[in-house]
Structure 1
């Protein structure tokens, strides 16, 4: 199986950036955010080689991977994997709905 290209939707980029910024501000340093960034990069590297590791969601084309308190929602489109949402499970579940 060929390695797939990972692309982030604008919403997912914003969600992930907000999480990273929150922890920099809350902790007064970037250490946790850098650690989280490295963990996400490692997971996405694995995903690019094994795109079916996430479980299907109820809409039957979006998949989700759980990573600690975060959910990474993605869709497979040909040779690309699009990250459609980066969700912190501690947020309001009603805002998480993927349309």
Structure 2
């Protein structure tokens, strides 16, 4: 059985870049590298087991906490994993669409 493809939505690309920009502004290269490494690890876990992380009760979207401050929302589609967005967990959860 082949592994699913990972597709980054435009929103996922944008929100990931925003997290990296924030880290670049307020933290060090060490924290940026750790976040990138952790994100890669999490995506690897998702590829190996797409249903590993909990699914929203309201939709088919899964939520994975990348680090305490940032979560990744993704959807499993026919043979693919679609990364939807990175979310700052300190923001109002009522503003989430998922």
Normalising by structure 1, report the TM-score: 0.86
- CA distance in structure 1 between the partners assigned to 2:17 and 2:76 by the alignment: 22
Secondary structure at 2:72 match in 1: strand
- CA distance in structure 2 between the partners assigned to 1:12 and 1:85 by the alignment: 4
How far the C-alpha of 1:73 sits from its partner, in A, is 0.8
Structure 2: where are the runs of 5+ without partners?
none
Normalising by structure 2, report the TM-score: 0.87
Q: What corresponds to 2:42 in structure 1?
A: 43
How far the C-alpha of 1:70 sits from its partner, in A, is 1.7
Q: Number of matched residues?
A: 97
- CA distance in structure 1 between the partners assigned to 2:48 and 2:34 by the alignment: 22
Q: Any conservation in 2 of the 1:23–1:32 contact (CA below 8 Å)?
A: yes
**1:24-43 equivalent positions in 2, closer than 5 A:** 24-27=24-27, 29-43=28-42
